[in-house]
């Protein structure tokens, strides 16, 4: 067999950190129209009126079917499956044996014995591996994200309508009141005469629904939303803007999958291809350790402590039981100092010397897995991940994981921006590293997402 | 006939200026991969190593064939056609009866009685109109740019290989020395076993060739260039970066076509569709006049004085003869003050009030036809058009047309950035207008393009 596995790749590389830091792929791909209008107004619309997010392209869907579906997921997920039933959904999180996060994805309970996982493919791959190698009566089917989908065809369109006007707009489209759809539950509405399945969930932490239906109906459903949306200040959000929503809602999309180490994980690495997400992903930023496990996160680091339930056995349970009393680190939002960000832009105009690493706006990640060092008094006290500008907050924000003792809102920290030495990633131009001031804020930073979002029904 | 003409559109609008300033289309479209690596290094490569520009998508090609081809072009072009023969090319410029530029395009003399015009479609449309309505024995065929080409198929690929290493790379690809191809002449080379037609011309004002051949061969030719280019520091230039090359080479791609006024031009406006380039183009920026003719340029304004030849009769000749003694305005490059550009970025971080108009990098145009006011002591002394950042010059640059008395390199001027009042173009977010300092530099700013480029053979 000539197929190369992730394990083969790692054996031939100078360690996972060097491999990933010099990977030739850029930030995670968001296909589609970059800007429908302009990204400032597209961001503003989800806070002030409403938006249409098109999520039809960037996520992999894994369908799992069979009588053992829930047993499989329960063996791998930190989440409780108590009461999990058709028309419910949850944020599924899988860990390795040491309790470090492999990946998370949205789990849809579509119908009896049939679910789908939707997101970056790390959790999918782990679940598929167990479905195929373990003793489970299930079948799996992958519907790949666009970037690695040569057929350029999906099974489903997936949209979100979100923002203060979203409910009114959805009612208008539905031709009457919406069914009660609690957070992370599903229901059905009608748009343009088409049945549309709807999840109570939204990326920007605003009221609204995620809706999906057959790929063939994507144009008519979108057209109907755009048309009706004119009266509600709806803006379509382009791919350049889309992913910045998470800066306000606080979800970290880019944990380094905890799969590169450990004898127990070796069979999985032998199953994973060399050219999949785990083998191709690039690691970028100022945070550096020779030890890849320093890039791993626990569920507690990522704010998923509330999902960890010891009501079932699952991979990593023992390790998490040990950790559970001692959270250690905490997820926060960093608000970058505007003067210091401005100073980074100013380096574009200096005649001598290299500029600082360019800050692309509104999304500023230059690697699949962004990891920048967060400092306090010169010592590393955490890592800063997803980064970009929010017009709504008029600030550069990043989602970070910092030592609990420095996680209080208002704490002043520093962020190290740029790589030293510069890596060979194609997205990395010759640059000098620079330190920026930042202030700790809650994650999510958005008042609405932090307080009202999870308890609402729409 | 229900087809709506440009004239119909203008009749129903509140004047051409209001129409164009509030047009709903954005900047001119450059389809294709936005960034292959990163735009800083992509720009740097054309100055330091070499680049591959892919021009297969953004320009319309008009093929004109028949015994009267040269008579038609000579009746419309300010250029001399003396000695024009197969395998030669020129920058064709057409004016209206008052001597204002309708458009310019590259004219390829492909073979006896057959030419093509390549560029934004303004000159094409004017030539096609005369070909169809005048007494000429010619036929025309359009090959539309990608943005308005539903078949997503062109007749030809069109690439440029440019930069200090371009000649060496092209020799390597050709398997031996290149034929002598003087500036704006054509020859033939071989790449990957395919015959490739080559023009001595380059957008970045650097050594190199523009090459073209059958659409079906585009992938193999590009692959061969990219593969061989590894030894020469070749970078592929993405669509986000491509158009910034002209900031260094000094060509203004976006003159307002001088077609919206004049009784003599009315039949042409009745022929032009309402939804073509002239009817859809957006006009943006701080320069404002109620009179659309204030947006028109003469060939002298655009640096085409050297093309004007009174050795033949052509539309606009009389007007140009009157102007020829008195150039009036001059094309220059404006180098924007780095501190002031930084100040514009700083407004993204202020808590109160609207920011300044966002400066997108590296290409900063937010309209099809960018027009910003250039000021001296508070008075408008010119207009600034195409705008963006050059990593090679470490500066924001724009191509401007200013009164001759203020055109000396080193002259300090001011540039008014943003619209007041804000127009309804979708690319325009709510913003405040601001003044930036700028210094006059030659056009082209690039030393090589200004001195060596036009006289070279490669």
Residue pLDDT, tens place only, B382-412: 999 999 999 999 999 999 999 999 999 999 9
pLDDT tens track for A167-182: 999 999 999 999 999 9
Contact yes or no for B38 and A345 at CB 8 A = no
Distance, in Å, from the CA atom of A328 to the CA atom of A381, rounded to the nearest integer, reads 11
Contact yes or no for B358 and A429 at CB 8 A = no
Q: Establish, for the pair of chains A and B, how many residue pairs have beta carbons separated by less than 8 Å.
A: 79
Contact yes or no for B349 and A427 at CB 8 A = no
Q: What is the pLDDT of residue B201?
A: 86
Residue for token digits 């229900």? B2
pLDDT tens track for A353-384: 999 999 999 999 999 999 999 999 999 999 99
Ordered by where they begin, the domains of chain B are 329-451 (2.40.30.110)
Asked whether residue A82 carries a pLDDT value surpassing 60, the answer given is yes
Q: What is the pLDDT of residue B457?
A: 46
B339 touches chain A (CB under 8 A): yes
pLDDT tens track for B296-307: 999 999 999 999
With bands split at pLDDT 50, 70 and 90, how would you rate the model's confidence at A451?
low
Reduced DSSP (H G I as helix, E B as strand, rest coil) percent helix, strand, coil of chain B, to 5: 30, 30, 45
The helices-and-strands tally (H runs, E runs) of chain B is: 14, 19
Q: Residue B70 in 3-state DSSP?
A: helix
**How much is the average pLDDT of A225-253?**
97
Q: What is the pLDDT of residue A457?
A: 46
pLDDT tens track for B127-155: 999 999 999 999 999 999 999 998 889 99
> Which residues are CB-contacts of B455 (< 8 A; sequence separation ≥ 6)?
B183
With bands split at pLDDT 50, 70 and 90, how would you rate the model's confidence at B450?
low
Q: What is the interface pTM, i.e. ipTM, of the complex?
A: 0.94
Q: What is the pLDDT of residue B449?
A: 64
Asked whether residue B48 carries a pLDDT value surpassing 90, the answer given is yes
- The angle formed by the CA atoms of residues A136, A139 and A145, to the nearest 5 degrees, is 125
Asked whether residue A1 carries a pLDDT value surpassing 60, the answer given is no
With bands split at pLDDT 50, 70 and 90, how would you rate the model's confidence at B453?
low
pLDDT tens track for B154-188: 999 999 999 999 999 999 999 999 999 999 999 99
**Chain A residue with minimum CA distance to B240:** A34
Q: What is the pLDDT of residue B458?
A: 43
What pTM was estimated for this model as a whole?
0.95
Chain mean pLDDT for chain A = 95
pLDDT tens track for B296-351: 999 999 999 999 999 999 999 999 999 987 868 999 999 999 999 999 999 999 98
Measure Cα distances from B238 to A82, B51, B228, B246, B444 in Å: 51, 10, 19, 14, 22
B437 touches chain A (CB under 8 A): no
Asked whether residue B126 carries a pLDDT value surpassing 50, the answer given is yes
> Where is pLDDT greater, at A207 or A57?
A57
Contact yes or no for A342 and B341 at CB 8 A = no
B191 touches chain A (CB under 8 A): no
**Chain B residue with minimum CA distance to A36:** B426
With bands split at pLDDT 50, 70 and 90, how would you rate the model's confidence at B3?
confident
A349 touches chain B (CB under 8 A): yes
With bands split at pLDDT 50, 70 and 90, how would you rate the model's confidence at B205?
confident
CA dihedral of B267, B268, B272, B278, whole degrees rounded to 10: -130
Distance, in Å, from the CA atom of B371 to the CA atom of B384, rounded to the nearest integer, reads 6
Which of B345, B352, B393 is the best residue to mutate to test the A interface, defined by the most A CB atoms within 10 Å of its own CB? B345
Q: What is the pLDDT of residue B448?
A: 65
pLDDT tens track for A340-358: 999 999 999 998 899 999 9
Q: What is the DSSP letter of B374?
A: E
Distance, in Å, from the CA atom of A121 to the CA atom of A145, rounded to the nearest integer, reads 9
With bands split at pLDDT 50, 70 and 90, how would you rate the model's confidence at A202?
confident
- Which of A7-21, B98-112, B195-209 has the lowest average pLDDT? B195-209
The percentage of chain B sitting over the pLDDT mark of 90, rounded to a whole number, equals 92
Asked whether residue B427 carries a pLDDT value surpassing 80, the answer given is yes
**How much is the average pLDDT of A128-152?**
95
């Amino acid at each position: 067999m000539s197929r190369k596995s992730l394990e083969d790749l790692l054996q031939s590389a100078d360690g996972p950190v060097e491999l990933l830091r010099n990977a030739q792929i850029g930030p995670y791909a968001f296909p589609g129209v970059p800007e429908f209008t302009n990204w400032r107004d597209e961001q503003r619309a989800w806070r002030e009126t409403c938006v249409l997010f098109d999520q039809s392209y960037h996520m992999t869907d894994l369908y799992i079917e069979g009588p053992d579906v829930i047993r499989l997921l329960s063996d791998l997920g930190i989440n409780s499956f108590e009461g999990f039933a058709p028309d419910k959904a949850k944020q599924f999180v899988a860990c390795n044996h040491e309790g470090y996060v492999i990946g998370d994805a949205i789990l849809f309970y579509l119908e009896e014995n049939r679910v789908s996982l939707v997101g970056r493919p790390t959790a999918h791959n782990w679940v598929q591996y167990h479905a195929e190698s373990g003793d489970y009566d299930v079948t799996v089917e992958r519907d790949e994200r666009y970037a690695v989908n040569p057929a350029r065809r999906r099974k489903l369109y997936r949209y979100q309508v979100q923002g203060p006007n979203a409910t009114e707009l959805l009612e208008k489209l539905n031709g009457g009141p919406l069914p009660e759809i609690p957070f992370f539950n599903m229901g059905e509405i009608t748009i343009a005469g088409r049945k549309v399945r709807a999840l109570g969930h939204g990326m920007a932490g605003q009221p609204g629904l995620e809706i999906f239906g057959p790929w063939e109906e994507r144009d008519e459903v979108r057209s109907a939303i755009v048309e009706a949306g004119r009266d509600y200040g709806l803006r379509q959000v382009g791919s350049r803007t889309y992913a910045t929503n998470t800066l306000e809602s606080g979800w970290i999309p880019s944990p380094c999958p905890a799969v590169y180490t450990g004898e127990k994980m070796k069979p999985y690495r032998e199953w994973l291809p060399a050219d999949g997400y785990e083998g191709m992903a690039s690691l970028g930023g100022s945070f550096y350790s020779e030890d890849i496990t320093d890039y791993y996160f626990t569920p507690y680091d990522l704010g998923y402590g509330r999902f960890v339930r010891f009501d079932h056995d699952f991979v990593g349970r023992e390790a998490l039981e040990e950790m559970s009393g001692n959270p250690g680190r905490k997820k926060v939002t960093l608000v970058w100092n505007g003067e210091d960000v401005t100073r980074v832009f100013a380096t574009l105009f200096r005649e001598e010397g290299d500029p600082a690493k360019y800050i692309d706006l509104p999304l500023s990640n230059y690697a699949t897995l962004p990891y920048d060092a967060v400092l306090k008094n010169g010592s590393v006290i955490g890592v800063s991940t997803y980064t970009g500008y929010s017009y709504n907050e008029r600030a550069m924000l990043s989602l970070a994981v910092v030592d609990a003792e420095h996680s209080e809102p208002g704490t002043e920290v520093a962020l190290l921006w740029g790589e030293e030495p510069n890596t060979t990633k194609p997205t990395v131009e010759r640059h000098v590293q620079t330190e920026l001031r930042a202030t700790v804020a809650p994650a999510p930073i958005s008042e609405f997402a932090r307080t009202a979002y999870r308890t609402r029904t729409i």
